[in-house]
Amino acid sequence: MFNIQQYLKEQRQVVEDGLQRYMLQEQGNFSAHIQSMRYSLFVGGKRVRPILCLAAGRAVSASLDVEEQLLPAACALECLHTYSLIHDDLPAMDNDDLRRGQPTCHKKFGEAEAILAGDGLLTYAFSLLSHPEIPGPATATRLQLIHVLAQAAGSQGMVGGQYLDITNEEKDIPFDLLKTIHRSKTGALITAAVHIGGLAAQADKKQLQALINYGDAVGLAFQIVDDLLDVTASTEQLGKTAGTDAQQGKATYPAFFGLDKTRALAQEAVHSAQEALASFDERAEPLRALAQYIFNRTC
């Protein structure tokens, strides 16, 4: 039986070490600014995206030195994710005071400073991916990683999804649009995480497509669970303010389907994710367990 708790603990440490190694250090005139970026990056977090990325690389290749070759890209993913949280929490957006049980970046440092911390982390992700002195896959593959990440994070991915999310508050939206919001706002970066893991490990076309299908399903499960937790968990459990979706009049899975059906849909997405990996051997066991772990957060 695969021990997911032990695995997550070890992998989180790998990611923390990577972030410490590859993240900008506070230095010179820019120290205060870099401190605000590091605050949000190191305030906590499950590191799900980088862990998925590393696990995808290992599922494809036994010979790739994943921790050496893929870790910088995994860290870039976490920079992108963190920037998106900082900007989403801003007063003009979701106006959240708490994130991971701590004051949000703008509460701690001020609003202008938080906008710039987000801008800095977003830009740094691409600096890291293209850095000539930081290890990574071959040049052509690096360029592919950059493109996959920029597409997933951009206007037809995460940024576009956030736009649809905030501009559709208090509106009756069709279920199709809710799916688009989830897929772009949350799903795109999760899919990109396993996609770039596969690319770095030189996955063939079939393997890449399987990883993308897995990522799409896991991303969906993740967002459904997030919707559920916003209803069922306390602020203390979440580390961020609970119940904000209903408060902000956001469309969610529970609002469409009720809690029971929503749970069933989440479990269905987890099964789809696991099915997508049918052609992978036991090296994909962590990916399979990660999908189930995401569902178990609801229980």
What is the contact surface with its own copies in residues (CB under 8 A)?
Answer: 24, 29-30, 32-34, 37, 87, 90, 92-93, 110-113, 115-116, 118-120, 122-124, 126-127, 129-132, 139-140, 142-144, 146-147, 150-151, 153-156, 159-160, 162-164, 166-167, 177, 180, 184
Q: How far is the CB of 57 from its own copies (least distance, A)?
A: 20
CA distance 232 to 224: 12
SS (H, E, C) 33-65: HHHHHHHHHHCCCCCHHHHHHHHHHHHHCCCCC
Min dist CB 144 to its own copies, Å, is 8
Tell the smallest beta-carbon distance from residue 267 to its own copies (Å).
28
177 or 259: CB nearest its own copies = 177
Could you tell me the smallest distance in angstroms from the CB atom of residue 182 to its own copies? 12
Helical H segments across 132-187, by residue range: 139-153, 158-167, 175-182
Cα–Cα distance measured from residue 174 to residue 25, given in angstroms and rounded to the nearest whole number: 46
- Distance between CA atoms of residues 211 and 213, nearest Å: 5
Task: Tell me the C-alpha to C-alpha distance, in Å, between residue 66 and each of 2, 23, 38, 85, 117.
Answer: 20, 18, 24, 27, 29
Contacts of 94 (CB under 8 A, 6+ apart): 88, 166, 244, 248
Give the CA radius of gyration of the chain.
18
Considering the complex, state which of residue 120 and residue 286 has its C-beta at the smaller distance from its own copies.
120
Which helix (H) or strand (E) segment is 219 a member of? Answer: helix 205-232
Taking the complex as a whole, the smallest distance from the CB of residue 268 to its own copies amounts, in Å, to: 24
Per the structure block, which two tokens stand in for 50? 């980088």
Residue among 144 and 232 whose Cβ is closer to its own copies: 144
Shortest reach from residue 34's CB to its own copies, in Å: 6
* d(C-alpha 86, C-alpha 43), whole Å: 12
Considering beta carbons, is residue 110 or 258 the nearer one to its own copies? 110
Q: Which is nearer to its own copies, 101 or 154 (CB)?
A: 154
Q: What is the smallest separation between the CB atom of 269 and its own copies, expressed in angstroms? A: 21
**What is the rounded distance in angstroms from the CA atom of residue 261 to the CA atom of residue 161?**
24
CA–CA dist 14, 20 (Å, integer): 10
Nearer to its own copies, 129 or 221 (CB): 129
Task: Report the alpha-carbon distance of residue 45 to residue 169 in Å, rounded.
Answer: 26
Q: How far is the CB of 262 from its own copies (least distance, A)?
A: 23
Please identify, using beta-carbon distances, which residue of 3 and 156 lies nearer to its own copies. 156
SS3 state of residue 9 = helix
> Contact, 101 vs 239, CB < 8 A?
yes
Question: Quick one: tokens of 38?
Answer: 């590091």
Nearest to its own copies of 93, 259 (CB atom) = 93
